[in-house]
């Protein structure tokens, strides 16, 4: 379910080859100097001299370390935590001190997911997410949890399943920001005891079973139609209210009604670009008393005369 981006040449990790080469050089120097000292003292190099030089080289290499800029070395003395060292050149006492862990303190990313997890309304969903985190305490990361990177992944997955189980399908699908914030808060509370700070949590994908997608689509269409009909009903209600108010204005005012009638007639002719033919009985409504004949324009197709 989870689609992890492929690592290409443009996404290479930083290298520790320089630190490894430095350790090898230190070993070789210790080995060569030990052989030279043995030869100067005894005048010969035998198997015991080679073994002794090898042991000296290993001791020297194990006491001088290179810690990269983004790392912290957790140094233990006789099995107890002693200090956090680095970055740079770190020295330890052979056979007494050793550093048990190099902690990367850069921002890390962990992909995790919840497969076939039931929502609050018993709908199985598959969810992919990613968490951005970093170690702020190398001591806690080394002494409080066995493998802090794996622990982050398992804890994030467990928290995601719990969050999905508390929400309905519609809430999971439409309120991703709230789900992200909820996961971030819960992970911060759990992981801070391990010296880990959660920077951000992002839900990448939510997959609903195919057999439920058609029914959900039909439900969404029905909901949109319901909303559209409600909007039309509200518009009709507003229009009826406006017409009722207009009828109250024109009620009992004959002159206002005549002016409104003339305006409607003018608008109809203006919009259509045609010719208005007014019957004599209708034209009498535009004058106040007397007998006046109105002769409107006639079209090319037919000629009409009104009195």
Q: Which of 187, 219, 209 is nearest to 200 (CA)?
A: 187
Q: What number is the average pLDDT over the span 246-255?
A: 71
Q: To 5 degrees, how large is the angle CA 299–CA 303–CA 307?
A: 115
Q: What are phi and psi of 209, to 5 degrees?
A: -55, 145
Task: List where CATH 3.30.479.30 sits in the chain.
Answer: 108-208
Pick from 45-54, 94-103, 165-174: least confident: 165-174
**pLDDT over threshold 50, residue 30:** yes
Q: Which of 29-33, 49-53, 91-95, 223-227 is predicted with the least confidence, judged by mean pLDDT?
A: 223-227
Mean pLDDT over each residue of the chain, to the nearest integer: 79
**Mean pLDDT calculated for residue range 277-296:** 50
Question: In this predicted model, what pLDDT tens digit does every residue of 176-195 receive, in sequence order?
Answer: 888 888 899 999 999 999 99
> How many residues are given for the chain?
307
pLDDT of 43 > 70? The answer is yes
**Token digits of residue 133:** 């985190």
Of residues 290 and 155, the one with the higher pLDDT is 155
Distance, in Å, from the CA atom of 27 to the CA atom of 45, rounded to the nearest integer, reads 18
pLDDT at 125 over 80: yes
pLDDT tier at 303, thresholds 50, 70, 90: very low
Hey, how many other C-beta atoms are within 10 angstroms of the C-beta on 150? 11
Whole-angstrom distance, CA of residue 257 vs CA of residue 254 = 5
Ramachandran angles phi, psi of 76, nearest 5°? -110, 145
Question: Six-digit token pair at 23?
Answer: 């350790």
pLDDT over 50 at 294, yes or no: no
pLDDT of residue 136: 93
Q: How confident is the model at residue 297 (pLDDT cuts 50, 70, 90)?
A: very low
Residue 152 banded pLDDT, cuts 50, 70, 90: very high
| Mean pLDDT on 65-89 | 91
The predicted structure's pLDDT at residue 274: 67
Average pLDDT rounded to a whole number, residues 207-236: 73
Asked if the peptide bond before residue 237 counts as cis, ω within 30 degrees of 0, the response is no
Q: Are 23 and 59 in contact (CB under 8 A)?
A: no
- Read off the pTM: 0.63
**Distances in Å between the alpha carbon of 227 and those of 215, 224, 256?**
18, 5, 39
pLDDT score for 120: 84
Out of 2.40.30.40, 3.30.479.30, 3.30.70.270, 3.30.70.3040, select the CATH number for domain 108-208. Answer: 3.30.479.30
pLDDT band at 284 (very low <50, low <70, confident <90, very high): low
Q: Do 127 and 160 form a contact (C-beta atoms < 8 A)?
A: yes
């Amino acid at each position: 379910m989870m689609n992890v981006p492929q690592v290409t040449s443009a996404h290479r990790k930083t290298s520790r080859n320089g630190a490894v080469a430095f350790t090898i050089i230190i070993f070789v120097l210790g080995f060569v100097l030990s052989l030279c000292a043995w030869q100067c003292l005894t005048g010969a190099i035998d198997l015991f001299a080679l073994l002794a030089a090898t042991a000296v080289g290993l001791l020297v290499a194990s006491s001088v370390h290179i810690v990269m800029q983004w790392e912290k070395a957790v140094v233990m003395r006789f099995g107890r935590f002693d200090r956090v060292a680095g970055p740079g050149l770190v020295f330890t006492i052979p056979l007494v001190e050793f550093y048990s862990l190099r902690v990367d303190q850069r921002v890390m990313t962990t992909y995790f997911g919840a497969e076939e997890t039931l929502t609050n309304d018993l709908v199985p969903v598959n969810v992919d997410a990613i968490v951005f985190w970093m170690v702020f305490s190398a001591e806690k990361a080394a002494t409080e949890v066995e493998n802090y990177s794996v622990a982050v992944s398992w804890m994030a997955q467990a928290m995601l399943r719990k969050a999905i189980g508390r929400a309905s399908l519609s809430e999971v699908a439409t309120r991703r920001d709230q789900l992200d914030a909820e996961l971030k808060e819960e992970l911060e509370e759990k992981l801070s005891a391990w010296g880990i700070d959660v920077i951000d949590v992002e839900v990448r994908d939510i997959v609903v079973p195919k057999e439920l997608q058609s029914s959900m689509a039909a439900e969404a269409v029905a909901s949109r139609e319901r909303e559209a009909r409600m909007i039309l009903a509200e518009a009709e209600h507003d229009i009826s209210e406006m017409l009722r108010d207009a009828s109250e204005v024109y009620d009992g005012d004959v002159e206002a009604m005549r002016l409104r009638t003339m305006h409607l007639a003018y608008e109809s002719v203006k919009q259509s670009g045609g010719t208005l033919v007014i019957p004599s009985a209708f034209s009498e409504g535009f004058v106040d008393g007397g007998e006046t004949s109105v002769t409107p324009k006639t079209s090319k197709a037919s000629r009409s005369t009104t009195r």
